[in-house]
Amino acid sequence: MTEFRNIFSISVSPNAEGARQARKSLQAEITDTDIPDECRDGLMLATAEWITNLGQHPEHTSNQVNVVLTRVGGTLVFEINDDGSPFETFHQTLLSVDGPPKLDETGMGLKLMAKYFPAMTYVQSRNNNRLRLQHHIDTDNEKTTVLLVDDDPIILQLYGEYLNETYRTLLADSVDEALQILKRTPIDLIISDIRMPNGASGLDLCAIVRDDHSLGTIPFVFLTGDKNIQTLETAQGLAIDDYLLKPVRKTALLSCAGRIIQNALFIRNRLGDRFDEDLTRLLQPLLPSRLGPYNTAVHSQSAEAGGGDLLFHHRRDTETLIVLADLMGHGSQAKFYSHALAGYLSGMLAALEKLSPEVVLSSLNRAFAEDAHLTNTIATAVVLLISDDGRVRISNAGHPKPLLVGSRAAEHLPTSGSLLGLSLDTAFESHEFSLIMGQRIFLYTDGLSEIGDTPETHENNFSQIRSILKETAAMGISDAALKVEQCIDRLLTEQPRDDLTFVLLEYAG
């Protein structure tokens, strides 16, 4: 059996001195434990911030504050209980956390606590209010999280110990607390008691979860000591995954949890594979073989299904705007950001009266700094405006410098700029030049310039690609692109670690 252990408890007055006393005693108690430093910092902050506020803010100040730290398997449970007036605005303040706290914000301490403990809940009642913080200190199973809900503290501790041997387990003794956790923490499985006489029932919780689009697919198991047929039929009508009759043996609980989590993972992976395939086809980097007087060739390889390279073009009158972007990450997550960026570009370019690389990058920069989706990633991008008379205007945001290719040289174009989203004040510059008949521009993402394990290998491999570009300058563009592809295949000794894309543009007059 895994451990259940009381690590620390103290009763103090709700004031600055009580906060200092509790903080000092807690620090001494956890100094020589396996609690991670970041978690210790969070516990210290919570102790000082919460107890101090208890003495300042409630209409009716607490008589005393009880601080308790326990360990249930791999989960630390930290509680601060008081008998004063509740913080009525707790949830509004917590849920307003949109980003990093600012110094002039009210509720700054609360927001910092939420950064340390996403599973932070606050339950209020007439005679007792409780702040509960939970932190899982085992790292092997961080991706598989079970929420256990039961109003019986003995059941909560016992079954929490069982589950903690295999999963990251969070505990809630009420529906209200469970919903608070679900709003802030990704959960892979919910196991809930049905009857909880002091508030909403497990049936209520399941109905709320199933009606919420963001939570509705979480597997749900009921625990119950009620053998009433009508209750069980009601439970089954909520599309639950299973139910277990109390008392539950450890082997039965773990077997049930494991089977349901594996089934959910299998279904999610199958759907994810289909999503990746569809989205990869939709956003495969492509260009027409002819853009006005320009011939084109494109090649791309993904590190895994659904990489994050995006190639976008928009033709208007005698000009074509081309955007090549590289979004952080791989797989469906990066592809999602690519999809969001493509949608943003479509809307933005339709609204622009005049195509301009600098304006496009400035608008993208603002989006990566402020947009609800794009702020979660970073990206590089290069934007070209090619005119039918051979004039080219190019702007760069942290992207590898394109090459100007001829029979004698493949030289970097003098373009540079900051990554998208770093600062709203970034000013992007452009470089202008004109192509002569037969000259080519080579665009690429850093997956191509970083083939190999070391910087020296990167440089050597890219030098070989540049040599191929010069040697093939007199060939047709399709044949030249094929030679570059063959060179890349020779240089890659394994599946590419990063998505790679290149574009050849040739001015044919």
Per DSSP, 402 falls in state P
Q: Closest by alpha carbon to 191, among 125, 225, 241, 237? A: 241
Structural domains of the chain sorted by starting position, each given as residue range(s) with its CATH number in brackets: 4-196 (3.30.565.10), 285-507 (3.60.40.10)
List Cα–Cα distances, 330 to 299, 377, 445, in angstroms. 17, 11, 14
In angstroms, the CA 261 to CA 492 distance is 37
Point out the least confidently predicted range of 19-23, 120-124, 219-223. 120-124
Q: What's the pLDDT band for 94 if we cut at 50, 70, 90?
A: low
pLDDT of residue 104: 36
pLDDT for residue 101 is more than 50: no
pLDDT for residue 190 is more than 80: yes
Phi-psi region of 434 (alpha: psi -120 to 50; beta: other; left: phi over 0): beta
Each residue of 124-154: pLDDT tens digit? 876 789 999 998 876 554 568 999 999 999 9
Find the helix packing angle between 37-54 and 108-116, rounded to 10°.
150
Each residue of 286-336: pLDDT tens digit? 789 999 999 999 998 877 544 478 888 999 999 999 999 887 754 555 566
pLDDT of residue 141: 47
Assess contact for 368 and 420: CB atoms under 8 A. yes
Q: What's the pLDDT band for 106 if we cut at 50, 70, 90?
A: very low
In angstroms, the CA 491 to CA 160 distance is 51
Residue 170: strand pairing partners: 147
More confident residue, 506 or 342: 506
Q: What's the pLDDT band for 258 if we cut at 50, 70, 90?
A: very high
Point out the least confidently predicted range of 48-57, 257-266, 284-293. 48-57
Each residue of 343-379: pLDDT tens digit? 778 788 877 888 899 999 998 888 887 776 666 677 8
Per DSSP, 473 falls in state T
pLDDT for residue 97 is more than 60: no
**Looking up tokens 């299998």, which residue turns up?**
266
Q: Closest by alpha carbon to 176, among 200, 194, 150? A: 200
What is the average pLDDT value for the chain, to the nearest integer?
83
pLDDT of residue 239: 77
Each residue of 381-397: pLDDT tens digit? 999 999 999 999 999 99
pLDDT for residue 2 is more than 50: no
pLDDT of residue 191: 96
Percent pLDDT > 90 in the chain is 40
pLDDT of residue 65: 93
pLDDT of residue 388: 95
Point out the least confidently predicted range of 241-255, 360-374, 445-459. 360-374
pLDDT of residue 103: 32
Assess contact for 306 and 335: CB atoms under 8 A. yes
pLDDT of residue 102: 38
pLDDT for residue 50 is more than 80: yes
Q: What's the pLDDT band for 85 if we cut at 50, 70, 90?
A: confident
pTM: 0.53
Amino acid at 157: Q
